[in-house]
Amino acid sequence: MTIEAIQEELIDEFSMFDDWMQRYEYMIELGRSLPLIDENLKTDDKLIKGCQSKVWLNSEMKNGKIIFTADSDAIITKGIIAVLVRVFSNQKPQAILDANTDFIDEIGLKEHLSPTRANGLVSMIKQMKMYALAYQTQLNN
Amino acid sequence: MPFNIQKIRKDFPILSRKVNGYPLVYLDNAATSQKPQQVIDCIVDYYSNYNANIHRGVHTLSQEATDAYESARKKIQTHFNAKEAYEIIFTAGTTHGINLVANGFSEILKKGDEIMVSAMEHHSNIVPWQMLCEKTGAILKVIPMNEEGVLVFSEYEKLLSEKTKLVFVNHISNALGTINPIAEIIEKAHEVGAAVLIDGAQSCSHIKPDFQKLDVDFYVTSAHKMCGPTGIGILYMKEEWGNKLPPYQGGGEMIAEVTFEKTTYATLPHKFEAGTPNICGGIAFGAAIDYLNSIGFEAIAMHENELLKYATEKLLEIEGLKIYGTGQDKTSVVSFNIEGIHPYDIGTIVDKLGIAVRTGHHCAQPIMDFYKIPGTVRASFAFYNTLGEVDALVAAVKKAKMMLS
């Protein structure tokens, strides 16, 4: 699936909810379903700065696509990562770099998140794009 | 005046707003307090009617502004029972005051001297001293605390020696709410000839310290936690220290005479007040102190203790909830976690229900390291909070727990 298609799918899913509580409950559920990251990968150099809770993000390249795995010690944060992993993992670096992130507003994440959390969200996306840029640069060389 | 909570709440316009569709329940008072109309009016009045630069103008506005600013200083002096008004230095806040003293001591301390901090300090009462140690070669000692979040006094006594030059302790811990026995701490430090700086950022909204009675050398606090505006605070410094310490910043206001060959410094307090000060802030700080005194510190303490007791009882009924800071002497701060749940998740959910609490390490990482936790949820109450708001907090925490576990 393309990034756009996955984003559309998420917008559809989130549009079913009437209020913030259902939305958060779904986020928490997504957080719980996030595949566990290898404990050995939860090292300090994989930590993303700018989040109040700890967020580890790992990336590897397989068959020209980036696989992201991630974890957090806070469950709502984990839900946010689950959304991002679903959108950006298993995609080509250039596609990740080209992707826009307007869907975050549309699924009601950004407006409902506190500024510190939103910063965490922004940092997570930035980190994912940084990895994509690094892999893309390698491919170009 | 009898304590009338509904009447008091009407003084605070912000308390009637809604957050996320719910009535605001503001329980982040240890971070900053809300402002009563009386203080807001004072700020508006200043800018509407007599805004002018102070201390140098002969015109009427300047004299009115100077009078108001200096009478605020007098008011603060009286409130804290300082011996002289010029022992009250206006600062930008607690952190500024600490840095001013740390800077002064950089010219007094010698290699091998010792300075002492407590294990429950806020970062702003740790970092300036570490910087001072780097600069001077002095050694930083730490007074330990126990599981209850109370300083171990016997260890403090053991650490004191004739090498100790300065002890700095917060009056009340921002993360735990513990009230430290500062009178005893000061007395013991003075026995070995050490000076004491008390960080009163958290205390002055709850209690009214008496500087002369405490015999404290330095006491710093911020107006914004006492119903005043941000960007203004005071450093109380005993006159002898005021004369001993060098100025912190150069500039206007702090000079007596300037030629290109030599500048002589102004006398206290102006020696430490370079540049145009926060005039409006100083005046509004005075108004905030008037407001707090109109309610009365005894009444404030009584009501806040009731809130603390009730909140502690009700929160502890939640299974798996642990409170950090369980000493006998504490102010209306409840720092807690629920087993297996990140404090951040709780803070997020309760915010959705209109409740403002703080989550995280509260700029006191060493305390979090001590308890081996990433942070806590901190509810901090002020005199304008109600028992009903405690119920709202407890209900919200229960709801968060249900969603998150």
Residue B258's pLDDT is 77
Torsion sign, CA atoms A38, A44, A50, A53: positive
Please tell me which of A111-120, B72-81, B114-123, B267-276 the model is most confident about, judged by mean pLDDT.
B72-81
Residue, of B249 and A32, whose pLDDT is higher: A32
Whether residue A104 is predicted with pLDDT greater than 90 in this model: the reply is no
Is the minimum CB–CB distance between B344 and chain A shorter than 8 Å? yes
The shortest CB-CB distance from B352 to any of A20, A74, A77 is to A20
pLDDT of B357-398, one tens digit each?
A: 999 877 778 888 889 988 999 999 999 999 999 999 999 999
* Helical packing angle, B343-352 and A75-88, nearest 10°: 90
Torsion sign, CA atoms B390, B396, B399, B404: negative
Beta bridge partners of B90: B234
One-letter amino acid for residue B257 of the chain = E
Q: Label residue B305 by pLDDT band (50, 70, 90).
A: very high
Strands (E), B92-163: 114-118, 139-143
Q: What percent of chain B has a predicted confidence (pLDDT) above 70?
A: 99
Q: Provide the edge-to-edge strand list for the sheet that holds B376-380.
A: B321-324, B333-338, B376-380, B358-360
Question: What's the average model confidence in pLDDT over B57-71?
Answer: 93
Measure B19 CA to nearest chain A CA, in Å: 12
Residue A117's pLDDT is 55
Measure B321 CA to nearest chain A CA, in Å: 17
Residue B1's pLDDT is 54
The shortest CB-CB distance from B359 to any of A21, A25, A52 is to A52
- Is B345's CB within 8 Å of A75's CB? yes
Q: Which run of H or of E encompasses A28?
A: helix A20-33
Of the listed ranges A54-58, B26-30, B144-148, the one predicted with least confidence:
A54-58
- Is A52's CB within 8 Å of B375's CB? yes
Residue B337's pLDDT is 96
Which positions in chain A touch B352 (Cβ < 8 Å)? 20-21, 24, 112
Q: Label residue B300 by pLDDT band (50, 70, 90).
A: very high
Instruction: Share the mean pLDDT of chain B.
Output: 94
A/B interface, count of CB pairs below 8 Å: 43
The shortest CB-CB distance from B348 to any of A54, A73, A117 is to A117
Residues 6+ apart with CB under 8 A from A140: none
The one catalytic residue in B42, B133, B204, B363 is B363
Distance from C-alpha of B221 to C-alpha of B320, rounded to nearest angstrom: 36
Q: Which residue has the tokens 């150099």?
A: A45
The shortest CB-CB distance from B342 to any of A24, A25, A53 is to A53
Residue pair B393/B357 in contact (Cβ under 8 Å)? The answer is: yes
Residue, of B328 and B37, whose pLDDT is higher: B37
Distance from C-alpha of B288 to C-alpha of B148, rounded to nearest angstrom: 33
| End-to-end C-alpha distance for chain A, whole angstroms | 27
Measure B335 CA to nearest chain A CA, in Å: 17
pLDDT of B82-111, one tens digit each?
A: 999 999 999 999 999 999 999 999 999 999
Residue A51's pLDDT is 62
Question: What's the average model confidence in pLDDT over B235-249?
Answer: 92
pLDDT of A42-86, one tens digit each?
A: 888 888 876 677 889 999 999 999 999 999 888 988 898 899 999
Whether residue B156 is predicted with pLDDT greater than 80 in this model: the reply is yes
Which positions in chain A touch B403 (Cβ < 8 Å)? 21, 24-25, 28
What is the pTM for the complete model shown?
0.90
Selected for mutation to probe chain A from B338, B342, B346 (highest A CB count within 10 Å) is B342
- Is B348's CB within 8 Å of A75's CB? no
DSSP state of B307: H
Q: Which residue has the tokens 């605390």?
A: B145
Considering only residues 105 to 134 of chain A, which have any Cβ-Cβ distance to chain B shorter than 8 Å?
Answer: 112-114, 117
Question: What's the average model confidence in pLDDT over A28-34?
Answer: 89
Q: Omega of the bond prior to B269 within 30 degrees of 0, cis?
A: yes
What are the phi and psi torsion angles at A81 (to 5°)? -65, -40
Residue pair B169/B185 in contact (Cβ under 8 Å)? The answer is: yes
Residue B322's pLDDT is 97
Residue B228's pLDDT is 98
Which positions in chain A touch B19 (Cβ < 8 Å)? none
- Is A75's CB within 8 Å of B20's CB? no
Q: Is A51 a known active-site residue? A: yes
Question: What's the average model confidence in pLDDT over B163-173?
Answer: 96
Residue B380's pLDDT is 97
pLDDT of A109-139, one tens digit each?
A: 765 555 555 557 788 888 999 999 999 998 8
Residue, of A105 and B188, whose pLDDT is higher: B188
The one catalytic residue in A27, A34, A48, A51 is A51
- CA max distance for chain A: 49
Residues 6+ apart with CB under 8 A from B342: A53, A73, A74, A75, A77, B374
- Is B374's CB within 8 Å of A114's CB? no
Residue, of B33 and A54, whose pLDDT is higher: B33
Is the minimum CB–CB distance between B341 and chain A shorter than 8 Å? yes
Q: Label residue B192 by pLDDT band (50, 70, 90).
A: very high
Residue B247's pLDDT is 86
Whether residue B249 is predicted with pLDDT greater than 80 in this model: the reply is no
